[in-house]
Amino acid sequence: MAQPLVCIGSYTPATGGRGSGITVCAQDPATGVLTPLGEPTATPSPSFLAAHPDGRRLYAVNELEPQGTLSAFAIADDGSLTPLGSVPSGGSAPCHVAVDPTGAYALTANYGDGRVSVHPLAPNGAAGRHTTVVELHGDGPDRDRQAGPHAHQVAFDGDTVLVCDLGSDRVWRYRLRPDGTLVAEAPVPTPPGFGPRHLVHTAPDRAWVVGELVPAVRALPDGPATGLATAGPTRNHPSAIVASPDGRHLYVANRGPDTVTVLALDGGTPRVVAEIDTGVTWPRDAALIGDHLYIAGERSDTVTALRRDPTTGLLAPPAEALTTGTPTCIAAVPRTY
């Protein structure tokens, strides 16, 4: 199987960024270096990217206010992107997108107003206008950050949709029906002020969620929290959480300390085993691709690669993999063709 493509999204001048849109790269599996395949594809401030299961389509949410958009692209054999159009995301400032396992729908999480939208995908990969929009509700004790709902991530566990809501301290649960409607199920609360940002699965029905307002990782649906180590007195605002393929380790990017915390899952509670410098400023996103953990430095205009030891789970010191303006997200696109 060919090496996956690595796509980097960047904030553009549309929202004060220095990037150009989406950069598609080839990965050197030995060194981790990313080589751009042509010029970036222009699209306004793609804050998150998601690949279609067939590896031939890419979706981006454009983090615009008061109305965000969802953009679709076809991926050619040489890695070039062809725009397939954009549609309203159904809310404000979308910050996450996910494609359901069947490839029939793309779902967006709109941070600004706490809405989640469902978009049918056409046979050619184009995203249609949203057919379903759900509005989250609730608030939290942090009046600056939790005055209302803020959908931060939408993730799939089979046909169950999990939505991290930083504003209401809940992980909302829905069942995605074949017709694209969402059926509400009982939400999972997190402690007041936790501010759930992202979650990741290590097994079916076994998820781990990281808090942005309280720097800790906890198991869903319940379990004690593990605080994240921080280098020095700088306040920690965790961002991405990543699981190793074998489910034995978690990796959390820490904005502020600019580190990544390595946690072992060898017991009922995650155990911190290392905290490592990322080599970037304000690590916005992380992705484990092959033998390297990639970190997007939003404020340093760099993406670094940290080689992972598959036995110990530990990371080598960072090496620069790519220079690009205001990187926000990293997505691997499998090439099964």
Identify the pLDDT of residue 337. Answer: 64
The tokens describing 246, both together, are 């074998």
Identify the pLDDT of residue 31. Answer: 96
Query: How far apart are the C-alpha atoms of 231 and 296, rounded to whole Å?
Result: 19
Query: How far apart are the C-alpha atoms of 239 and 195, rounded to whole Å?
Result: 11
> End-to-end alpha-carbon separation of the chain, Å?
8
Instruction: Divide the 337 residues of the chain into consecutive groups of 10 and give the mean pLDDT of each group.
Output: 89 97 97 97 98 96 98 96 98 98 97 98 97 98 97 95 98 97 97 97 91 96 85 87 97 97 91 97 98 98 98 97 98 85
Identify the pLDDT of residue 267. Answer: 81
The tokens describing 3, both together, are 């090496």
Identify the pLDDT of residue 163. Answer: 98
DSSP 13: G
Specify the pTM: 0.97
Query: How far apart are the C-alpha atoms of 105 and 141, rounded to whole Å?
Result: 34
Pseudo-torsion of CA 322, 323, 328, 330, nearest 10°? Answer: -10
The tokens describing 128, both together, are 């249609």
Query: How far apart are the C-alpha atoms of 27 and 332, rounded to whole Å?
Result: 10
HSE, side-chain direction, 13 A CA sphere, residue 57: 22
